């Protein structure tokens, strides 16, 4: 979230024909009415009373409270995208899986397609104001301030949990808008199991994903029920040209790889240990060209970007006879990235190398005591960040290469302590207060309280509410950044006097389930934010034609809105769902909306299993236009995804599908255009699980 400055910029003000805001609101209302009609028609056909297994009713979530709860009775509202649902959405990454999730915005175009960065917006907050976790551990290594969800594959995915609203009382910095937790899981039963998926996509796209696991039913020396799993992922996609006939790429060629090892065992009746290791390599190759006066040939520059990320996490859980448990987690993450400008047939090149390291340790104790459950924890983190620049320039004699730090190496530590009480004041009423204090080696301490409550008014009606403090600590780059682009007329300096941006937020929702296979939910939120960290472009210091800008705390903003969700399953072969989300934002510094936040979105989906081992899935989304500045708006758009699959043998499926069927595309020359950069993607594939039968 950039708390905007009154820049008065007039560049790229070209007005393009676009539907009016009223037209897009009409489209959204039309989609909503259509969805309501589909749902109503589906409800009219609910004549088959045959009970079906409700997988969602059995789903256990942990992100909202750090204690296992049934998703439908969780004290804090938690949305879940299962692996099966991600497959239906044609997802190969977490970005794909959440791209059409109600209430969220995952738009690569919002970030200038920085290597395809797919960051997320929740409740009007984006980039590093939404916390991204893998199995409860914070992901490091942002690009342009955003964790790239496209770089997190679904190969080893069990489910994705999304909690909206400030959750800093449990997770600390960056959890202002919410938390996204990408969760893996051990094998559910003994024996050998495997899963494989292969796809061919548009733009010569290839998707290969697979995992295999083995779990013992007995003991292997001191290890009881040991298990091990291997995970792999490979995806590639051709680049997208900028101008026909020229080598320039608007979107770089993409190659992503991941290999992972997971293992675990019970050491005794009360002790369990797990380990997870993963290695990622993302390679993006861009190309740009230019002409020079009096030279016929174009100068071509290759723009390679490569990221290597390594993660190691060890989890040890001890269960005590009283029902208490102690969970210990140790982790290390390593993020190595370089971007380059390699001018063909020329030594005049440059390369930036970025290194980011984090070590962490966390201990969480859970103590049940009758109608009360206590959760207390402590967490320690140490981070190190540095960035260097290697550049070769031409001189009057020979090219000269220099290398040195572009960002002053920075190391800091964090110690956090938190506690939470889940108290059942009555069989149908749960109250959950909690608080977290964080001590930072650079700026001191932050305190984040939260209070949540859930009341099951009746068997079919549940009310929930929560309110709390959120904060976002300054990043290593904001504290120590020295980015010298004097050649282009500016420099960016860090500010070691920064302190966290802070927020207060409230959330409430009501869920009505009049029957087993029908649900209607309404939710509202309001957030007040202050001391946002951003570049102070209005107070640059000019010296010799070069402007120097610094990060500072100055922003104030508000976000509010609501969401209505409906889901019906009138028959075992038919599921219909629809959602409408509204987001209002206000930049109180400049008295205008926050840029790039679409106020209205509608999502609808229909899943049909007509027989003959077929499954049809269609998912549609409407996003209205959004404010950019006084003279520009980002265009709204509609997308439709379709998928048709057929079971070939038990636990297997062949399928074909299309993402963005009607080929809605981003205009690369239009600033702030958040429509899909890739346009339509067609795919065909096969997935299979082993054993074929349970």
pLDDT tens digits for 645-693? 999 988 899 999 999 999 998 887 777 788 888 889 999 999 999 886 6
Q: What is the pLDDT of residues 359-398, one digit of tens each?
A: 999 999 999 998 999 999 999 999 998 888 898 888 778 8
On the question of pLDDT at 238 being above 90, the answer is: yes
> Residue 410: is its pLDDT beyond 50?
yes
pLDDT of 621: 95
Q: Please provide the average confidence, as pLDDT, over all residues in the chain.
A: 84
Distances (CA, A) of 166 to 65, 66, 179, 331: 12, 15, 8, 24
Contact between 283 and 264 under an 8 Å Cβ cutoff? The reply is no
Of the listed ranges 8-17, 129-138, 435-444, 479-488, the least confidently predicted one is 8-17
Q: β-pairing, 490-493 with 546-571?
A: parallel
Higher pLDDT, 606 or 669: 606
Q: Is pLDDT larger for residue 318 or for residue 15? A: 318
- Predicted confidence (pLDDT) at residue 228 exceeds the cutoff of 50: yes
Mean pLDDT, range 96-117, rounded to an integer: 68
Tokens linked to 210: 């697979």
Q: For 459-482, what is each residue's pLDDT tens digit?
A: 899 999 999 999 888 876 677 666
39 has a pLDDT exceeding 80: no
- Give domain 60-690's CATH architecture: Beta Barrel (2.40)
> Model confidence over 275-290: pLDDT tens digits?
999 999 999 898 988 8
- pLDDT value of position 205: 94
Note the pLDDT of residue 16: 39
pLDDT tens, 307-338? 999 999 999 999 988 889 999 999 999 999 99
The answer for 44, left when phi > 0, alpha when psi is -120 to 50, beta otherwise, is alpha
Can you give the pLDDT at residue 675?
84
- The set of residues, in sequence order, having a beta carbon less than 8 Å from that of 494 and lying 6+ positions away, is 407, 408, 477, 478, 479, 480, 481, 482, 550, 551
Instruction: Give residue 295's pLDDT.
Output: 63
DSSP 143: B
pLDDT in tens, 55-79: 555 678 788 878 887 877 788 888 9
In the chain, how many H helices and how many E strands? 6, 39
pLDDT score for 630: 84
The pLDDT assigned to 615 comes to 95
Element housing 58 (H / E): helix 55-58
The encoded tokens of residue 518 equal: 């029908």
Asked if pLDDT for residue 195 goes beyond 90, the answer is yes
User: Residue 120 in 3-state DSSP?
Assistant: coil
Give Rg (Cα) of the chain.
Answer: 26
If pLDDT is split at 50, 70 and 90, which confidence band does 32 have? very low
User: How far does CA 641 lie from the centroid of its chain?
Assistant: 20
Token couple for 364: 């969480």
> What's the confidence (pLDDT) of residue 119?
73
Whether 3 has a pLDDT exceeding 80, the answer reads no
Is residue 92 scored above 70 in pLDDT?
A: yes
pLDDT in tens, 568-577: 998 989 999 9
pLDDT of residue 27 exceeding 50? no
Q: What is the pLDDT of residue 694?
A: 56
Place of tokens 């800008």: 549
Q: What are the two backbone dihedrals, phi and then psi, of residue 127, each rounded to the nearest 5 degrees? A: 50, -125
pTM: 0.86
How do the domains of the chain map onto residue ranges?
A: 60-690
pLDDT tens for each residue of 533-585: 777 666 677 777 777 777 788 788 899 999 999 999 989 899 999 999 999 99
CA dihedral 144, 147, 152, 154 (to 10 degrees): -130
Structure confidence at residue 492 (pLDDT): 75
pLDDT in the model for residue 320: 87
E strands within 184-324? 191-201, 205-215, 219-220, 223-237, 240-241, 249-251, 253-266, 271-290, 299-319
Q: pLDDT band at 625, cuts 50/70/90? A: very high
The yes-or-no verdict on residue 40 having pLDDT over 70 is: no
Q: How far apart are CA 408 and CA 401, in angstroms?
A: 20
Mean pLDDT, range 102-121, rounded to an integer: 64
Q: What pLDDT does 501 receive?
A: 85
pLDDT of residue 424: 93
């Amino acid at each position: 979230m950039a708390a905007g400055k009154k820049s008065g910029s007039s560049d790229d003000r070209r007005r393009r024909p676009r539907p009016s805001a009223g037209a897009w609101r009409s489209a959204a209302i039309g989609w909503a009415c259509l969805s309501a009609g589909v749902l109503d028609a589906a409800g009219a056909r609910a004549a088959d009373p045959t009970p079906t297994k409700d997988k969602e009713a059995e789903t256990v979530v942990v992100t909202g409270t750090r204690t296992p709860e049934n998703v439908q009775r969780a004290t804090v509202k938690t949305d879940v995208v299962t692996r099966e649902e991600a497959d239906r959405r044609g997802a190969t990454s977490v970005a794909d899986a959440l791209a059409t999730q109600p209430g969220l915005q995952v738009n690569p175009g919002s970030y200038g397609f920085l290597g395809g960065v797919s960051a997320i917006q929740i409740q009007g907050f984006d980039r590093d104001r939404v916390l991204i976790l893998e199995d409860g551990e914070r992901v490091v290594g942002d690009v342009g301030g955003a964790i790239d969800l496209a770089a997190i594959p679904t190969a080893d995915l069990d489910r994705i949990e999304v909690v909206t609203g400030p959750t800093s009382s449990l997770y600390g910095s960056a959890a202002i808008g919410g938390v996204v937790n990408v969760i893996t899981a051990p094998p559910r039963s003994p024996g050998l199991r495997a899963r494989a998926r292969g796809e061919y996509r548009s733009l010569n796209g290839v998707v290969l994903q697979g995992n295999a696991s083995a779990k013992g039913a007995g003991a292997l020396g001191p290890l009881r029920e040991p298990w091990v799993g291997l995970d792999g992922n490979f995806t590639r996609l051709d680049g997208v040209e900028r101008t026909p006939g020229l080598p320039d790429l608007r979107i770089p060629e993409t190659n992503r790889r991941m290999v992972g090892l997971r293992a675990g065992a019970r050491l005794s009746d009360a002790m369990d240990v797990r380990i997870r290791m993963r290695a990622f390599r993302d390679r993006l190759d861009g190309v740009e060209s230019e002409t020079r006066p009096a030279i016929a040939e174009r100068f071509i520059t290759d723009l390679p970007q490569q990221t290597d990320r390594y993660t190691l996490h060890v989890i040890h859980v001890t269960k005590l006879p009283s029902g208490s448990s102690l969970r210990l987690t140790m982790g290390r993450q390593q993020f190595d990235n370089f971007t380059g400008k390699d001018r063909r047939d020329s030594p005049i090149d440059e390369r930036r190398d970025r290194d980011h390291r984090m070590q962490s340790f966390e201990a969480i104790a859970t103590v049940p005591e009758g109608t009360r459950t206590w959760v207390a924890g402590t967490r320690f983190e140490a981070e190190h960040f540095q960035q260097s620049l290697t550049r070769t320039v031409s001189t009057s004699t020979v090219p000269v290469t220099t290398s040195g730090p572009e960002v002053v190496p920075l190391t800091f530590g964090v110690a956090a302590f938190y506690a939470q009480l889940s108290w059942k004041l009555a069989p149908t009423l749960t109250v959950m207060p909690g608080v977290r204090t964080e001590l930072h080696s650079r700026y001191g301490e932050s305190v984040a309280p939260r209070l949540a409550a859930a009341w099951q008014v009746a068997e079919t009606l549940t009310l929930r509410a929560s309110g709390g403090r959120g904060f976002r600590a300054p990043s290593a780059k904001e504290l120590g950044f020295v980015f010298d682009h004097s050649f282009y007329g500016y420099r960016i300096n860090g500010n070691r006097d920064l302190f966290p941006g802070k927020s207060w937020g409230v959330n409430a929702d009501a869920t009505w389930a009049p029957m087993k296979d029908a649900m209607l939910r309404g939710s509202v939120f309001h957030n007040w934010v202050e001391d946002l960290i951003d570049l102070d472009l209005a107070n640059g210091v000019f010296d010799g034609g070069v402007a120097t800008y610094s990060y500072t705390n100055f922003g104030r903003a508000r976000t509010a809105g609501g969401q209505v969700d409906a889901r019906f399953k009138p028959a075992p072969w038919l599921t219909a769902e629809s959602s409408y989300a509204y987001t209002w934002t206000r930049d109180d510094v400049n008295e205008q909306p926050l840029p790039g936040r679409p106020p209205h979105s509608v999502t609808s989906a229909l899943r049909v299993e007509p027989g003959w081992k077929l499954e049809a899935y269609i998912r549609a989304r409407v996003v209205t236009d959004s404010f950019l500045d006084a003279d520009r708006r980002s265009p709204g758009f509609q997308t439709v995804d379709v998928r048709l699959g057929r079971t070939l043998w038990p636990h297997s499926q062949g399928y074909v599908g299309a993402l963005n069927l009607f080929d809605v595309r981003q205009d690369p020359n239009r600033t702030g255009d958040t429509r899909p950069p890739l346009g339509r993607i067609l795919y065909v594939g096969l997935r299979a699980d082993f054993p074929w039968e349970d």
